[in-house]
Structure 1
Amino acid sequence: MKSLFSRLLISASLIAFILILTIWQWFQFSQDFNRDQVQQSLHKELALHMAHINPLLSQGITSDAALKEAFHDFMLLGPSFEIYTLDPLGQIIAYDANKEKIKRSHIATPPIEAFIHGEQLPIKGIDPRSSHSNKIFSATHLKDTSGKITGYLYVIIGGEDFDMWQSLVSEHQAPRIWGGMLLGVMVFSLILFALLARYLTSPLSKLEKDLRLVESQKLDEGLSLSHDYRGSLEVRQLSHHIKRLLNKISEQHQAINRQQQARHDFMLHLSHDLKTPLTSLQGYIDTWLLLPTNERSSDLIEVAAKSGNYIQQLLSQMLELAALENGQIEPDVKETELSLLLQELKLYFTPRADTQKVQLDFDLNLELSVLTDPQLLLRILSNLVDNAIRYTPSGGVVSIKVISAPTEAQQQSDHIWLSVSDNGSGMHKHELQALQQLRSKPSFKRNDALPQLGVGLAIVRQLLTLLQCNIDINSTPGEGSCFQIELEKI
């Protein structure tokens, strides 16, 4: 019952059986209707002729015992007829039958009057010998010599004997009729099943062949079905969903390739960032070891220690970036005072800035509170300031201030823009393009390709995405960079 073949076969058989049974019933009804109409039309004047040729009936007599003999003579000539006389109200008066056979003693007169007045045939009236069935009849008025209606002559056409013989014939023919019907149902079912199977399974076969061809297609070139399908709605929807699924698979494959390439490029970039301090660390240590004991200087060890610290910082940033990509960091948004955040930031970077003779110009008098995660915002600013100090020459300035919105369209009363700027070496084109993706508020995706940035700026990118903050970036190589971050003001 679960296979398409069996469902189609059973459906076709049921449809064929119901259809043939309906046609048979309609044919029987039509045949009975036409037979009754023809017989009643042929015998329309029967009652009138009987009343005319019988002396008693022609005089309007309805209850004379001599009528039974006349009825007997009439029925010998037509054994399928049953003859009754009725009074003007339809009560049965005389008949030629045993009294036990009469089931109803009253006949409704409206059908009789309709017949006498020539209305559309067939018209059926009550059969006195049956308690529930009606039959076609012939009828006429009985009138006395003065023309007064004394009753009706009522003749059933196809009486009890006719029904008995018809029943015997039907029983004899029933096996052949039902056998023919079953044979017809089987033949029709097979034909209908073949047509349905061809019509319904043709698109499925076509779809199955196309899916086999998909196996030979290359993912890099995209997967697709080669045809459109015009079958049933379900087949069209199925092919549509398969096409969408194939397109999605192709897009995901291309995205994975792009992500792998981006990761490869990022690792090359990262390896370069690690290689420089590692080379420096190894070089200073080797130099220190090669010197005689009395000539070894602590300056070499200090420089090596700085390189080691830088490597440690890179590794920590890599772990932080991995945590961001895996969705392990969730923002804790709350009211944050900018002045306290900037004071902490300045205290942290002042020793390093003094060493490199870089001025920190932070606006510490801000009386503003923003709605953000203070720890994540501090990481963003720390990475930006760290990069700015690294690439700003001696005598340069790194500043953090509140500015107006970059464009009129971005001006909102409940938002402020925090600017982190420097007059250092600026950013290269590929780095700037990677960060430009954050101009809108993107949703955080773990499978986003890594940007072609240093680890610090990659962390900035992910953290801004996590906080859903807009950013506007302006940078010119040799002149410096300016990062403008949008924050929600309280």
Structure 2
Amino acid sequence: MKTSFIHTLYFKMAAGLGLILLVVGLSYTIFASYMLQQINQSSLQLINHNLALNLVNDKKIVHDGKIDKKAMKETFMQYMTINPSIEIYYLDLNGNILAYSAEPGKVKRNSINLNPVRQRIEKPEQLNILGDDPRSHETKKSFSVTAIPDKSNPEGYLYVVLQGEELTKAINTQSQNTIIYLGGMVLTGSLLMGLLLGLFLFYRITYRIKNLQENVANFVSNDFSSASTSGFCVSNLIIPDEISELEKYIARMTLHIHKQWSALKQQDNLRREMVANISHDLRTPLASIQGYLETLTIKYDNLSDNDRKKYLKTTSKQANSLQKLIDGLFELAKLDAREHQPIMESFPVLELVYDVLAKFEINTQKKNIKLNIISETDNPVVLADIGLIERVLDNLINNAIYYSNTNGHITVSIAAPEDGSLTVKVIDTGQGIPVEQQALVFEQFHQAHTPERKDGHAGLGLCIVKKIIELHKQKVWVESKPEQGAEFNFTLAIA
């Protein structure tokens, strides 16, 4: 199912980046506005820190060591009209406001805090000292102050607010326009540049994830086929990152899944073939048993004693064949379930080979097959489960007799020990196994294609051989050429 664009990782990362840039831009604008105000106040204090003293001297507010209140009043009235950017106040020694250059009702404070005033008089070079704004209960502004009539004999203070209410309004209006313009430019530029760079970087990251997701979806939709695994490749990066590591592990995982899926499909095909083979192998003896028993039931009185014995003998033979098939199925099921674990013991393998071959003398005589034993070492001793290895030899020799031609040869060869193990070979002179079937001969119910099928051979023997050798953690394989017989090999650990 295709993911909506707004639900994609790329969109979420882009939206997150846009939100971050927006917050950063707004924070920068607010910080810039605050710093602009601080710089403006510092500049006013630096330029006008002697303004109050200059007003006293220029306007002759102090005359003959005394305060000229008439001159002070004229100064207040003059500056209220000519220069409303500053506000002038006359304070007593307790900070009470006695006179000011403002219209009635504008001044909201009756007194101000004198600590900043004294600090300014004592340290005139220090900047960023803010005092109370008589026109506001909350605001503090930069100011200039001087003691009058003089510092040594003060009767009060001339307190000048350097950024009056009118100037503040003008500055605020201009600052708002400037901040809106600059903030808009900064935000727009930051967003555009950040988004473009961010979107490019995010694309470089997310397209690999998107490609990986498409490959996985394609792998699933194509029934876990090997063709779809070709899309899984690791990015060629100088320094691998988490995504390239993820690509590597997913490539390995898909290959493993494909192998498992192929094995399951092959196993499913084998099960289908098994059902067909079991049906055939069970039906043949059962049909024969049923037919002979029905004949005996219906025509019992009309049959001679020889015919009755013949029918019963045939029925018994088919029952034995059916019993062998069922026993093979049960044994294979136990080996698959690992219910039978090998009981390891030391024994001479050559003696076991002689014992097993002795059991098949009658069968080989019927086809005039000669049995041979070749050993490259004297009485080798191996470590294995003697009962299970006997079953391996039984199945291999029985298989060799089954597929060998009349007047053929079967040879059991024991090679010299090498790397802690020896190899046992069962060689026949039968029809051989085609190359394309050699990899399948150890699978359940597999049989080589023969001109005619013989009863009682269900194709379980070699599969049981493989399971038993695997339980011993050894190897089994076949070598064969068409019409030149087959050579089955398995290894055993040296005791």
Tell me whether 1:103 sits opposite 2:113 in the alignment.
yes
Change (3 A) 1:149 1:323: farther
Contact 1:83 1:153 survives alignment (8 Å): yes
TM-score normalised to structure 1 length: 0.56
Tell me the SS of whatever aligns to 1:338.
strand
Partner of 1:387: 399
Separation in structure 2 between the aligned mates of residue 355 and residue 452 of structure 1, nearest angstrom? 21
The aligned counterpart of 1:26 is: 31
Structure 1 position 473 matched with structure 2 position 486: no
Deviation at 1:319, TM superposition (A): 3.5
CA deviation after TM superposition for structure 1 residue 419, in Å: 0.3
Judged with a 3 Å threshold, the aligned counterparts in structure 2 of structure 1 residues 283 and 398 are, in CA distance, closer, same or farther, namely: farther
Distance 1:212 1:293, change over 3 A: same
> Could you say if the C-alpha distance between residues 384 and 283 of structure 1 is closer, same or farther in structure 2, counting changes exceeding 3 Å?
farther
Which secondary structure does the structure 2 equivalent of 1:403 belong to? Answer: coil
Is the Cα–Cα contact under 8 Å of residues 421 and 482 in structure 1 kept in the other structure?
A: yes
Secondary structure at the aligned position of 1:332 is classed as coil
In 1, distance between residues paired with 2:34 and 2:462? 89
Q: How far does residue 293 in structure 1 lie from its aligned partner after superposition?
A: 1.2
Q: Equivalents in 1 of 2:75, 2:447: separation in Å? A: 116
| Counterpart-to-counterpart distance in 2, 1:377 and 1:111 | 111
Q: Aligned pair in 2 of structure 1 residues 214, 156: CA closer, same or farther (>3 Å)?
A: same
Aligned equivalents of 1:465, 1:267: Cα separation in 2: 25
Is residue 350 from structure 1 mapped to residue 358 from structure 2 by the alignment?
yes
User: Displacement, 1:74?
Assistant: 4.3
| Aligned: 1:399 with 2:407 | no
- Contact persistence 1:345–1:382 (CA under 8 A): no
CA contact (8 A) 1:469 1:485 kept: yes
Within 2, Cα distance between the matches of 1:53 and 1:303? 146
Q: Where does the alignment leave 5 or more consecutive residues of structure 2 unmatched?
A: 99-108, 234-240, 449-458
The answer to whether the 8 A contact 1:356-1:394 is kept is: no
Residue by residue over 1:93-121, the C-alpha shift from the partner in whole angstroms, topping out at 9 and shown as x without a partner, is: 68662697242436435995436xxxxxx
> What is the SS of the residue equivalent to 1:462?
helix
Give the alignment of 1:86-485 within 5 angstroms.
97=97, 101-105=111-115, 107-108=118-119, 112-114=123-125, 123-127=127-131, 135-138=141-144, 155-158=160-163, 257-264=265-272, 293-296=304-307, 302=313, 305-324=316-335, 327-330=336-339, 332=341, 335-339=344-348, 347=355, 350-354=358-362, 356-357=364-365, 359=371, 361=373, 366=379, 368-370=381-383, 376-391=388-403, 396-399=409-412, 401=414, 403-405=416-418, 411=419, 415-425=420-430, 427-430=432-435, 433-434=438-439, 451=446, 454-476=459-481, 477-485=483-491
State the TM-score, normalizing by the size of structure 2.
0.56
- Matched to 1:124, the amino acid is N
Deviation string 1:280-313 (CA, Å, 9 cap, x unpaired) is 8799999998995154485775565444423321
Aligned Cα RMSD in Å?
A: 6.6
- Displacement after TM superposition at 1:261 (Å): 4.2
> Which whole-Å CA distance do the structure 2 matches of 1:319 and 1:67 have between them?
128
Q: Which amino acid aligns with 1:460?
A: V
Call closer, same or farther: CA 1:320–1:271 in 2, change over 3 Å.
same
**Does the CA contact (< 8 Å) of 2:60 and 2:71 recur in 1?**
no
Relative to structure 1, the CA distance from residue 367 to residue 254 in structure 2 (aligned partners, 3 Å threshold; closer, same or farther) is closer
CA deviations on 1:329-374 (whole Å, 9 max, x unpaired) are: 24635532233x776676566343345346474989846352x555
- Between the aligned residues of both structures, percent identity stands at 20
Q: Secondary structure at the match of 2:344?
A: strand
Q: Secondary structure at the match of 2:97?
A: coil
Aligned to 1:81, which of 83, 87, 93?
Answer: 87
Distance in 2 (alpha carbons) for counterparts of 1:71 and 1:401: 131
